[in-house]
């Protein structure tokens, strides 16, 4: 299986340099060769467990955290907001 | 015998009877860390002052006559992917090197309510991706039984700390074997509970449908004590199962009479070392002598487990790790002009190679044109494997297998070969795929003196049966071997 690592990296928002491309390509091809070993299989791939339906909490506002505590981890903060590069002119 | 060597159950009783104080115990464990952790390197972050404060609080409460829960005053090590309010939580990644959680994981809240003492945070593979703890951004942890070898992973710090006596018990997480495999290689007990038995709120997500928090101890009773303290439903985790919880520890009693133990032959085939097979079969014979019935059986899809696991886990990881973008928390690159460059450079500089491999694989199997061939088939295989487990549990009460195909390998031996590393997980991933509980416990040594582990697997929510069988085995062999000697100033004995 050929894999376009450059394209997959772009989708993953990862930047790989020219040295890394052949290394990751080779590794990904080996890993894919391993995981491709799946049997022919019929049926539906349902994702939910019927025995344990998940319950959502009641949609009710609660104050669990303080804004300044949450923002304390942000790399750049101004006026109670996180700062990112300009995206519109 | 030093205090750090005793079991949590014994220490709990000693504190209750006033023979020792929580402070004395805490100091003993902190000293042990001081003398051994330069070699073992299990801890990423220590909070000595805070731990002593927590211990003093326990002693104060005890003096006031308050009846305290069993974990009060017990030093519990925490894997560094479990959020601890005010205490750095890195996932052993550069991406979170400076992250200080503004909240506690539910399991940490529960430990605090039990007045457990938290000495610090334990090393792991980066974002729990790996089987040797070598993908940690910060440091490599050594196996206390042989410092030139890996402790297993991804909860290698937790297993090594418990094995070395630098924590009495510890929490880890298990997505494909990350509690059981290091427990096996470090000669301790590791419990991976049923999916949904323990809240995952505050556990940094790797593969949300497979991740589960569980416990390490040097005895089965200790692993049970810690599990009892953290299990149960949680409104903050929609996948935690709403059910009544009865503490398991008080029910432990050594008896396997009439117990039907299945031996699936696929777990004893090529790739599993002879010494491991022999040790597990000897343990099976011990259990049979004590009244259990051994039933040879088959789980035909076992060989596909690794494929299904690496597809599902990587797919979920690629989605979960999309949140690390340098905006709200964690690492942010200094090299960017546009938002896109900020994302790409933050992620490329912040993640290590193994994390990148899994993100790339996950992105690929979910990408247009490949979803049906990989992800959908893996999910169908997951159901088939689950059905096979359900059907064998009609013939037996639990299964006995090796935990890992081989004992601890040398540091650096496999780090450059991802496939060799992935194969470490062959006996453990089927359990996560089917959401089952399993426990790994020591069952002998190979000819180099390295610990061998066996795995007991049970039906959903059979933790009591699993732990009771493990407890029975521990009593049958007269207890597990003592702690390994470490060359630090004070030896283990």
Residues of chain A found within 8 Å of residue B347, distances taken between Cβ atoms: 12-15
Q: Where are the beta strands (DSSP E) in B175-329?
A: 189-192, 212-217, 260-264, 293-297
Q: What is the pLDDT of residues B243-271, one digit of tens each?
A: 999 999 999 999 999 999 999 999 998 78
Residues of chain A found within 8 Å of residue B103, distances taken between Cβ atoms: 64-65
pLDDT for position A57 = 79
Q: What is the pLDDT of residues A20-38, one digit of tens each?
A: 999 999 998 988 888 888 8
pLDDT for position B416 = 87
Tell whether the torsion through CA atoms of B139, B144, B145 and B146 is positive or negative: positive
Mean pLDDT, chain B, whole residue set: 96
pLDDT for position A47 = 59
Find the mean pLDDT for residues B53-64. Answer: 97
Q: Which residue has the higher pLDDT, A54 or B113?
A: B113
Confidence of residue A49 (pLDDT cuts 50, 70, 90): low
Q: Given an 8 Å threshold on Cβ–Cβ distance, is B342 in contact with A84?
A: yes
Ordered by start, the domain boundaries in chain B are: 3-264+392-476
Query: Is the pLDDT at A88 greater than 90, yes or no?
Result: no
Return the closest-CA partner of residue B334 out of B351, B356, B349. Answer: B349
Closest residue, chain A, to B315 (C-alpha):
A12
Q: Given an 8 Å threshold on Cβ–Cβ distance, is B332 in contact with A69?
A: no
Report the complex ipTM: 0.92
pLDDT for position A39 = 83
DSSP-derived pairing of the beta strands B169-174 and B189-192:
unpaired
Query: Is the pLDDT at B492 greater than 50, yes or no?
Result: no
pLDDT for position A46 = 61
List the single best residue of B200, B328, B374 to mutate versus A (max A Cβ within 10 A).
B328
| B82: β partners | B203
Confidence of residue B289 (pLDDT cuts 50, 70, 90): very high
Query: Is the pLDDT at B100 greater than 50, yes or no?
Result: yes
Query: Is the pLDDT at B174 greater than 60, yes or no?
Result: yes
Q: What is the pLDDT of residues B359-388, one digit of tens each?
A: 999 999 999 888 888 998 999 999 999 999
Query: Is the pLDDT at B354 greater than 80, yes or no?
Result: yes
List the single best residue of B348, B350, B434 to mutate versus A (max A Cβ within 10 A).
B348
State the DSSP string of B256-291: -TT-EEEEEGGGGSTTS-HHHHHHHHHHHHHHHHTT
Return the closest-CA partner of residue B115 out of B44, B159, B150, B64. Answer: B64
* 3-state secondary structure (DSSP) of residue B306: helix
pLDDT for position B421 = 86
Cβ neighbours, 10 Å, residue B297:
15
Q: Given an 8 Å threshold on Cβ–Cβ distance, is B418 in contact with A27?
A: yes
B3-264+392-476: CATH number: 3.90.1300.10
* 3-state secondary structure (DSSP) of residue B317: helix
Q: What is the pLDDT of residues B15-53, one digit of tens each?
A: 999 999 999 999 999 999 999 999 999 999 999 999 999
* 3-state secondary structure (DSSP) of residue B190: strand
Q: Nearest C-alpha of chain A: how many angstroms from B239?
A: 6
pLDDT for position B400 = 98
| B263: β partners | B296
Task: Measure CB to CB from residue A13 to each of B329, B347, B381 and give the nearest one.
Answer: B347
Cβ neighbours, 10 Å, residue B439:
32
Return the closest-CA partner of residue B441 out of B189, B216, B261, B252. Answer: B189
Q: What is the pLDDT of residues B304-327, one digit of tens each?
A: 999 999 999 999 999 999 999 999
**Residues in Cβ contact with B319 at an 8 Å cutoff, skipping those fewer than 6 apart:** B362, B366
Query: Is the pLDDT at B493 greater than 60, yes or no?
Result: no
Q: What is the pLDDT of residues B180-226, one digit of tens each?
A: 999 999 999 999 999 999 999 999 999 999 999 999 999 999 999 99
pLDDT for position B358 = 96
Q: What is the pLDDT of residues B215-224, one digit of tens each?
A: 999 999 999 9
Cα separation, B475 vs B315, in Å, equals 42
Task: Measure CB to CB from residue B339 to each of A42, A64, A84 and give the nearest one.
Answer: A84
- Please confirm whether the linkage preceding B154 is cis (ω < 30° from 0): yes
Query: Is the pLDDT at B142 greater than 60, yes or no?
Result: yes
**Residues in Cβ contact with B35 at an 8 Å cutoff, skipping those fewer than 6 apart:** B486, B488, B489, B490
Ordered by start, the domain boundaries in chain A are: 5-35
pLDDT for position A50 = 67
Burial of B61: CB neighbours in 10 Å, binned 0-12, 13-18, 19+: middle
pLDDT for position B490 = 43
Mean pLDDT, chain A, whole residue set: 87
- Report how far apart the first and last C-alpha atoms of chain B are (Å, whole number): 7
DSSP-derived pairing of the beta strands B120-122 and B76-79:
parallel
Task: Give the strand order in the sheet containing B293-297.
Answer: B43-46, B120-122, B76-79, B169-174, B212-217, B189-192, B438-445, B451-457, B398-402, B260-264, B293-297
By the 8 A CB rule, do B276 and B404 touch?
A: yes
Find the mean pLDDT for residues B419-426. Answer: 87
DSSP-derived pairing of the beta strands B212-217 and B169-174:
antiparallel
- The 8-class DSSP code of residue A45 comes to -
């Amino acid at each position: 299986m050929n894999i376009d690592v450059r394209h997959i990296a772009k989708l993953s928002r990862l930047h790989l340099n020219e040295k890394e491309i052949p290394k990751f390509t080779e590794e990904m091809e080996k890993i894919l060769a391993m995981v491709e070993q799946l049997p022919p299989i019929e049926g539906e791939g349902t994702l939910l467990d019927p025995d344990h339906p998940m319950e959502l909490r009641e949609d009710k506002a609660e104050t669990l955290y303080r804004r300044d505590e949450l923002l304390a981890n942000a790399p750049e903060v101004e006026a109670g907001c996180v700062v990112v590069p300009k995206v519109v002119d | 015998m030093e205090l750090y060597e005793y079991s949590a159950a014994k220490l709990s009783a000693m504190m209750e009877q006033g023979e020792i104080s929580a402070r004395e115990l805490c100091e003993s464990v902190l000293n042990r860390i001081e003398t051994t952790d330069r070699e073992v390197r299990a801890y990423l972050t220590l909070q000595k002052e805070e731990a002593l404060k927590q211990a003093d609080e326990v002693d104060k409460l005890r003096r006031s006559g308050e009846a305290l829960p069993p974990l009060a005053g017990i030093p519990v090590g925490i894997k560094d992917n479990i959020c601890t309010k005010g205490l750095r939580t890195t996932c052993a990644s550069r991406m979170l090197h400076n992250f200080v959680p503004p909240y506690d994981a539910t399991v940490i809240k529960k430990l605090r309510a039990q007045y457990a003492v938290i000495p610090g945070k334990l090393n792991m593979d980066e974002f729990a991706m790996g089987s040797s703890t070598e993908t940690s951004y910060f440091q490599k942890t050594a196996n206390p039984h042989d410092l030139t070898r890996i402790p297993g992973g991804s909860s290698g710090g937790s297993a090594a700390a418990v094995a070395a006596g630098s924590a009495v018990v510890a929490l880890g997480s298990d997505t494909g074997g990350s509690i059981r495999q290091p427990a096996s290689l470090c000669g301790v007990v590791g419990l991976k509970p049923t999916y949904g038995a323990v809240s995952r709120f505050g556990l940094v997500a790797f593969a949300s449908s497979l991740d589960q928090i569980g416990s390490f101890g040097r005895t089965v009773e200790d692993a049970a004590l810690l599990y009892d303290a953290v299990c149960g439903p949680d409104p903050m985790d929609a996948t935690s199962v709403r059910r009544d919880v009865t503490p398991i520890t008080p029910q432990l009693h050594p008896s396997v009479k009439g117990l039907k133990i299945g031996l699936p032959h696929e777990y004893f085939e090529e790739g599993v070392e002879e010494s491991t097979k022999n040790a597990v079969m000897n343990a099976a014979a011990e259990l049979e002598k004590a009244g259990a019935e051994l039933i040879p059986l088959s789980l035909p899809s076992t060989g596909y487990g690794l494929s299904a696991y690496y597809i599902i886990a990587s797919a979920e990881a690629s989605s979960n790790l999309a949140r690390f973008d340098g905006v709200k928390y964690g690492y942010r690159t200094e090299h960017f002009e546009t938002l896109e460059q900020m994302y790409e450079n933050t992620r490329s500089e912040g993640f290590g190679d193994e994390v990148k491999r899994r993100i790339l694989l996950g992105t690929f199997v979910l990408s247009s044109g490949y979803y049906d061939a990989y992800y959908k088939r893996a999910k169908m295989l997951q159901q088939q494997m689950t059905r096979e487990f359900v059907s064998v549990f009609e013939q037996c009460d639990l299964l006995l297998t090796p935990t890992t195909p081989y004992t601890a390998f040398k540091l650096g031996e496999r780090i450059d070969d991802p496939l060799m590393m992935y194969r470490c997980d062959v006996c453990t991933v089927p359990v996560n795929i089917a959401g089952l509980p399993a426990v790994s416990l020591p069952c002998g040594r190979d000819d180099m003196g390295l610990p061998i582990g066996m795995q007991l697997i049970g039906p959903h929510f059979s933790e009591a049966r699993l732990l009771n069988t493990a407890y029975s085995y521990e009593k049958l062999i007269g207890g597990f071997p003592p702690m390994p000697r470490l060359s630090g100033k004070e030896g283990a004995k």
